Structure 1
């Protein structure tokens, strides 16, 4: 318990340091390139927009409402993408022939830019949560599949031979050896997929639904409401950094419990 608390405090300290560095670089970038105050907003401008202006409460409510939609869109696609990747990785690990059939198609699909695929996905799945989920799934699925499959196949031949010597089969090796061995890879996939899921959700909102922060940023840029645009970008960045930090803590605790070096 004490080790877990110490790890959590260390990771939160790193997160706080990352936030400070990001704020400093943000301010230096705007100053160094002499960005027009109409377009470039400093951290204190965003703070005033959300907390000290007369309309701050309404501004926070608008950003929070759109943020909740984006978190929902990213979260659903994230969970579905990881689950689908895990199930397919399990099937591939016991059936290499299935992998040789499916993977080339998946690789071709992933090589097409997401912006090009989004209109087609919208036509197939419609404008709504299902369409955005499909977009996020494509972003999350393939990298997670490759990582989890690598974890499942990292079992040594000696471990497999030992299980078979006691009467086990391929499924026994998978259940008793491969799945526990793949836990670090699965957790690493879950951690890395968080920013990708958020990016996919916002692209879907921008090009398809017009909802969430993706849609609000698009509308704000078109109406010259740049402070709202910056506030929306900062809010989703903060949520993404926090989610990544939490998943990083879970990843580290799990790998330490399993005796695997992070």
Structure 2
């Protein structure tokens, strides 16, 4: 009951903060402090969201398809890299600096090269999402693998367990918390990465839609897309939270 009461209180505070920001936004627009063509009011953004909803859904399907494909491949790649670095210390010292180097390259600078090399289809967008999402998963899992209790590992080895058994019964369960925390970050990165890649070329997607409405100076529609992207990211993060509760029921005890 205490936990449920705290959850309700936290949600009330969050909803109050969002409502307060909306009221402040509406007040600024109604008072004419900022011109309407620069900052559309929440009411006009809501109307744009309703009138453009069918088009947004069509473009959103493309963006979600890219985001899910890139996120899945990014998680697989991150898991593989984390396992390799955990088992082979020499490869860890060789691979880790390269992984860090990949994250120092701005995605906005890399996206045009991927479009140039792979065209305007889905392939360059998925590659960019993979490069964006694999890093949190790899680092989170590696941290989880390395934080296991060494006494537990020694105990299993004394009972004749091999590396596979130690990984299955100690390292993997012990790293699940860090994995889902990293997956939550990667899920939000996947949507943002898909939109950024669509800015630079494509035939559909929320990024392409944003580029079109920006050129038409339809900023109410631009804000509508931003809100939709935020909602999608939040839903994906909530989905990861739900999955983590199903995979780690002992955390709820």
Which category of TM-score, normalised to the shorter sequence, fits these structures? 0.7 to 0.9
TM-score under structure 1 length normalisation: 0.84
Q: 2: distance between equivalents of 1:61 and 1:259?
A: 40
Query: Shift of the alpha carbon at 1:34?
Result: 2.6
Give the equivalent residue in structure 1 for 2:141: 148
2:194 counterpart residue number: 201
1:1-262 maps to which residues of 2 (within 5 A)? 10=7, 14=11, 18=14, 21-29=17-25, 31=28, 34-51=33-50, 56=51, 59-209=52-202, 211-252=204-245, 254-255=247-248, 257-259=249-251
**1:259 Cα deviation from its structure 2 partner:** 4.2
C-alpha contact 1:74 1:136 (8 A) present in aligned 2:
yes
Deviation at 1:244, TM superposition (A): 1.4
Q: CA RMSD in A?
A: 2.9
Give the Å deviation of 1:126.
2.9
Larger mean CA deviation between 19-28 and 210-219 belongs to 19-28
Residue 168 of structure 1 aligns to a residue in which SS? coil
Matched residues in 2 for 1:175 and 1:124: separation?
A: 40
- Aligned residue pairs: how many? 250
- SS of equivalent residue, structure 1 residue 67: helix
SS at match of 1:123: helix
TM-score calculated relative to the size of structure 2: 0.87
State the secondary structure of the residue aligned to 2:175: helix
Q: CA deviation at 1:206?
A: 0.4
Instruction: After superposition, give the CA deviation of every residue in 1:195-253 in whole Å (9 maximum; x if it has no partner).
Output: 21111111000013252111111111111122221111111211211221232233345
Residues in 2 aligned to 1:234 and 1:23: alpha-carbon distance in whole angstroms: 14
Superposed CA offset, 1:179-208 (max 9, x none): 111111111111121221111111000013
Give 1:170 shift. Answer: 2.2
Separation in structure 2 between the aligned mates of residue 106 and residue 153 of structure 1, nearest angstrom = 18
Displacement of 1:38 in angstroms is: 1.2
Counterpart-to-counterpart distance in 1, 2:40 and 2:23: 9
Deviations along 1:11-60, whole A, 9 cap, x unmatched?
A: 8x83x864663353255257189321113122211222243xxxx2xx22
Specify every segment of 5 or more residues in structure 1 that has no aligned partner in the other structure, as ranges: none
* CA–CA separation in structure 1 for the residues paired with 2:119 and 2:155: 51
Q: How many angstroms apart in 2 are the aligned matches of 1:160 and 1:237?
A: 42
Describe the SS at the equivalent of 1:209: coil
Deviation at 1:260, TM superposition (A): 8.0
Structure 2 unpaired stretches of 5+:
none
CA distance in 2, matches of 1:118, 1:87: 24
Query: 1:145 Cα deviation (Å)?
Result: 0.8
Distance in 2, Cα, partners of 1:17 & 1:91? 44
Q: Distance in 1 between matches of 2:109 and 2:21?
A: 32
Specify whether residues 195 and 159 from structure 1 end up closer, same or farther in structure 2 by C-alpha distance, changes over 3 A only.
same
